[in-house]
Amino acid sequence: MLATLARVAIVRRSGLPRGPCSRRGLCTGRPQADTHNVMKPLEGVKILDLTRVLAGPFATMNLGDLGAEVIKVERPGAGDDTRTWGPPFVGTESTYFLSVNRNKKSIAVNIKDPNGVKIIKELAAICDVFVENYVPGKLSALGLGYADIDRIAPHIVYCSITGYGQTGPLSQRAGYDAVASAVSGLMHITGPEDGDPVRPGVAMTDLATGLYACGAIMAGLIQRYKTGKGLFIDCNLLSSQVACLTQVAANYLIARKEAKRWGTAHGSIVPYQAFKTKDGYLVVGAGNNLQFATVCKILNLPELIDDCKYKTNHLRVHNRKELIRILSARFEEAMTSEWLHRFEGSGVPYGPINNMKNVFAEPQVLHNGLIMEMKHPTVGKISVPVTSMDTPLHTK
């Protein structure tokens, strides 16, 4: 095995060591767990990662955060497509690539070469999980499909991430987030009410698929623990995003109500949207009558509370335009900071629309430990966003 690995060209280390500020590489007031003697949930689990771009790498990065050892396989000479996606770059590294590839060891293998196929099979034999995101049938043609890997590693949890699924009329199409979000209907319901469809600001279809894959893989590991046998997992962008349509899909499937774009507003709750202030925007949501009454008191519009047009959410939805016009005029009378002060402690959900600078200066973001500082082997110290959890993250 060591001889085999010696033949593999090392692209570069994409995983990153712990930062200097704490064991999570983070300087905040949040208590940090002592991770020296804490076993990570997936410690000892080995993952062979043949994925590129976002959905797959995001899934395997999250598994790596939980302690799994991730071996990322890339194309010789080029690597993951996202290594070239930019600007911005830090040194020669794409910040896009850095955002979803921590906690990984990177190797370059030509899987079109028989020797490369042999290397992948040898690695699969000692791994617990095999993750790939090739067009259905492509890896099978190379001898690396599920049936091929299952023969040499019947314990393997094999996860295939595709655009549209393993079979069907669209199965041979390449899957990119924007296209899948269009086909799935997400783009149809995203954007200004009277404007064009809009792509969400981040690749939510890719990210949702990555999270589904991450959960399915962990469930697969539990099933293998019970049965001793591996299994095949089919995750795809289309299915993930259609599932995430939730109440919008249910509105159509149950009530045959076609969806539309609402901008920042909500089709079934009023008020629940962004309001322009003197210097920015504030999002306010009143999900029940008590919250609506509280909003009216804060805005010094008590006459709206008992107005027969707004006494229930159903009536507020029906009379949306008139109500929003009244509320909007009042919100524009003061600065965002003033409204934040007035809503504090009210019990009403509210918050400003932050740019990135304000997001990462937000006290709750800092308290939750959502910024991790790490030292990259070639570009030095970098910061990346992480999730907040009681289980200490595994970073290297």
Got the DSSP string for 129-173? EEEE-PPTTHHHHTT-SHHHHHHH-TT-EEEEEESS-SSSTTTTS
- The set of residues, in sequence order, having a beta carbon less than 8 Å from that of 42 and lying 6+ positions away, is 63, 66, 67, 68, 218, 221
Active-site annotation holder among 206, 279, 306, 307 = 206
Q: 283: exposed, middle or buried (C-beta count within 10 Å: 0-12, 13-18, 19+)?
A: middle
User: 73: closest CA among 133, 145, 20?
Assistant: 133
Specify whether the CB–CB gap between 67 and 45 falls below 8 A.
yes
Q: Which candidate, 112, 119, 125, 215, places its Cα nearest to that of 161?
A: 215
Give residues with Cβ within 8 angstroms of 247, minimum separation 6.
Answer: 268
The answer to whether residues 386 and 369 touch, using CB atoms and an 8 Å cutoff, is yes
Six token digits for residue 119: 């290397």
Name the DSSP class of 190: S
User: 357: which 2 tokens?
Assistant: 């600078």
The total of other beta-carbon atoms located within 10 Å of residue 312's CB is 13
Q: Which amino acid is at 58?
A: F
Catalytic residue flag (residue 206) = yes
**DSSP code per residue over 244-272:** TTHHHHHHHHHH-------TTS-SS-SSE
**Backbone conformation region of residue 388, classed left if phi is above 0, alpha if psi is from -120 to 50, else beta:** beta
What are the DSSP calls for 341-394, one per residue?
Answer: HHHTTSSS-EEE---HHHHTT-HHHHHTT-EEEEEETTTEEEEEE----SSPP-
Q: Is the Cβ–Cβ distance between 182 and 197 less than 8 Å?
A: yes
C-alpha dist (Å) from residue 342 to 116, 274, 295, 299: 63, 16, 10, 9
Place of tokens 């071996």: 71
The residues that are catalytic are 206
